[in-house]
Structure 1
Amino acid sequence: MIPGEVRVSTEPLEFGTDAEKITMVVVNDGDRPIQIGSHLHLPAANPALTFDREAADGFRLDIPSGTSVRFEPGVSRTVTLIALGGLKRVPGLQIVPDEDLPTHAREPKTVMPFGTPGVEVEEPLRASSVNVRVSDVPVEADSPEDAATTVERTAE
């Protein structure tokens, strides 16, 4: 071999052809988009993603290295998973299995058009203000028209 020499195969190399593959539906129940990279152990993914984490144990997304898949809020996507090699773990990226994952499912809210009879409408919070006098002339306590007045603030 000559230093710097590159030897290439005459046959194309294919990776992951003999690894176990499964398909799974993943739903983003959160309110923000979530991207999952190519080498993330899928059960360690964001808890807002809903899928069978037990079945996905030891698997990652079957996508090219360095790429990712984006899951939009409220959208389901069918993905292909490929088995990880070795111990089927990616160190440092694991969610502790003893913890319960928080739920991020959104609760539907009843929508009532403004002005619907029988529906109480909360008074919106309003900004309060203070009148300020900007002048070089001193204020005389006896002349209320020259004095700066303050608007009462309501305690909330």
Structure 2
Amino acid sequence: MSATSSSGPGAIRVRPGTVELNADRSDAERREFVIVNTGDRPVQIGSHVHLPDANGALDFDRAAAAGFRLDVPAGTSQRFEPGASRSVAAVALRGRRRVPGIQRDKTGTTFPGQEH
């Protein structure tokens, strides 16, 4: 059985070409951040984590990241090794823009212009 089969159970069939993530986002809905892991353990940020709620060992402009998440495919993440620094792309959250929070001391976040 070939590992590169394009038929049968588990086969992945894709169209030729590329897909641009979040292609409908305006420049105002995109930001770049430099994130540094100041901790002593690797840290990952998942695809739909509200950036300001990410692990406290990560150093970046959390205020500017309010309402944004990483611009990566759904279900993926970015890993930051101890002492590592990386520039990442981020996109604005959509929908109701409600972020319940992943930290115990936070109840939720609202953003300017959000309907209450």
TM-score bracket relative to the smaller structure: 0.5 to 0.7
Q: Which of the numbers 1, 18, 34 marks the counterpart of 2:43?
A: 34
**2:48 is the counterpart of 1:48:** no
Structure 2 distance, partners of 1:51, 1:92, is 18
Instruction: Find the counterpart in structure 1 of residue 89 from structure 2.
Output: 80
Instruction: Find the counterpart in structure 2 of residue 91 from structure 1.
Output: 100
In the TM superposition, residue 18 of structure 1 has moved relative to its aligned partner by: 2.5
Larger Rg belongs to: 1
Question: Structure 2: 5+ residue runs without aligned partners?
Answer: 1-17, 108-116
Once the two structures are superposed, residues 63-107 of structure 1 have per-residue CA deviations (whole angstroms, 9 ceiling, x without a partner) of 00000100010110000001000343332425639xxxxxxxxxx
Query: TM-score scaled by structure 1?
Result: 0.50
Structure 1 distance, partners of 2:84, 2:20, is 32
CA RMSD in angstroms, aligned pairs only: 2.2
Higher relative contact order (CA 8 A, sep 6+): 2
Counterpart of 1:60 in structure 2: which amino acid?
A: R
Structure 2 distance, partners of 1:71, 1:22, is 19
Instruction: Find the counterpart in structure 2 of residue 57 from structure 1.
Output: 66
Instruction: Find the counterpart in structure 1 of residue 22 from structure 2.
Output: 16
In the TM superposition, residue 14 of structure 1 has moved relative to its aligned partner by: 6.1
Higher strand share goes to which structure?
2
Once the two structures are superposed, residues 123-149 of structure 1 have per-residue CA deviations (whole angstroms, 9 ceiling, x without a partner) of xxxxxxxxxxxxxxxxxxxxxxxxxxx
Distance 1:30 1:85, change over 3 A: same
Question: Structure 1: 5+ residue runs without aligned partners?
Answer: 1-11, 98-156
Structure 2 distance, partners of 1:75, 1:13, is 29
Query: TM-score scaled by structure 2?
Result: 0.66
Once the two structures are superposed, residues 13-39 of structure 1 have per-residue CA deviations (whole angstroms, 9 ceiling, x without a partner) of 866222211111000000000011001
Structure 1 distance, partners of 2:20, 2:85, is 29
Counterpart of 2:66 in structure 1: which amino acid?
A: D
In the TM superposition, residue 51 of structure 1 has moved relative to its aligned partner by: 0.3
Identity of aligned residues (%): 60
